[in-house]
Amino acid sequence: MLGVRFVDGQGSIVKNGGRVMKNVTGYDLVKLMAGSQGTLGVLTEVSLKVLPKPETMACLLIDGLNDRDAITAMTRAMGSPYDVTGAAHLPKGLDGTPVTMIRIEGFSASVAYRLEQLAGLFPNHALRRETDPAAVAKGWAYIRDAEPFHGTTGDVWRISTKPTNASDLAAQLDAKEVFYDWSGGLIWALTPAGSDIRAKLGAFDGHATLVRASGTTLPLFHPQPAPVAMLSEGVRRKFDPRGILNPGLMTA
């Protein structure tokens, strides 16, 4: 996001950023508004930088890995020179068995070459190659939209952490089901209704966001450390002194 126009809690119209990448004038309110969940202002206009849709895409599928080995494979792929654009792991794939998904995108010849080179990194694994762009897109929409949890009961959590910590954290959740995106840096978890996974996890490098709740009063967003919470509250008071913009959403 390059630029925004919004109305703050006092009714003032504020514009920040611009339409080009080199616009660096003033405070960077663009990033601040992007994560504020409507608690600092009502966005009325945004300027976005976009990229062309890739000519094609393909996916290397690795079958049968446990969570820890899958994260090791994904981080290895992401650290390769083959320009991987996505890495996810489903402990329960569509057929009920684990599958690790590694995506590459770009021009057809480049994708074909990089797919084979990527497969060469895993000579002792059970590999499949998906080269139908429509099938690849469908598979990644399944991950993006957390489709494994559609039509289920319970709470849905989104946990951001370091990939190296992901499998250990997931094991502590007592979740009905989990899957991983961002090479393990993002854990999606389906838990029994009312489960306070923050209490189960304790202090960890990351945060847990409650995306879908069933009859619980738990806060949606991870509590901030006291100094950060004080700074955040100060920013909110500047933008919304009367507390009328989504009150209680970001804080208790």
Domain 147-212 has CATH 1.25.40: no
pLDDT of residue 251: 76
CB atoms within 10 A of CB 155: 24
Comparing CA positions, the residue from 60, 130, 112, 54 lying closest to residue 89 is 60
Comparing CA positions, the residue from 76, 58, 183, 53 lying closest to residue 114 is 58
pLDDT of residue 252: 64
Q: Which residues pair with 188 in a beta bridge?
A: 158, 179
pTM of the model: 0.89
Comparing CA positions, the residue from 162, 169, 137 lying closest to residue 58 is 137
User: End-to-end alpha-carbon separation of the chain, Å?
Assistant: 29
**In the block, residue with structure tokens 């899957």:** 179
pLDDT of residue 248: 85
CA distance 224 to 202: 13
Enumerate residues 6+ apart whose C-beta is below 8 A from 173: 157, 189, 191, 195, 197, 200, 201
Comparing CA positions, the residue from 71, 59, 79 lying closest to residue 185 is 71
CA distance 202 to 199: 5
pLDDT of residue 216: 72
Looking at domain 56-144, its CATH class is: alpha beta
Quick one: tokens of 165? 């910590």
Which of helix, strand or coil describes residue 190? strand
pLDDT of residue 9: 95
pLDDT of residue 22: 63
Low-confidence ranges of the chain (pLDDT < 70): 21-26, 252
Domain boundaries, the chain: 3-50, 56-144, 147-212
CA distance 66 to 108: 31
- pLDDT 10s digits, 195-251: 999 999 999 999 999 999 887 778 899 998 899 999 999 999 999 999 999 998 887
pLDDT of residue 164: 94
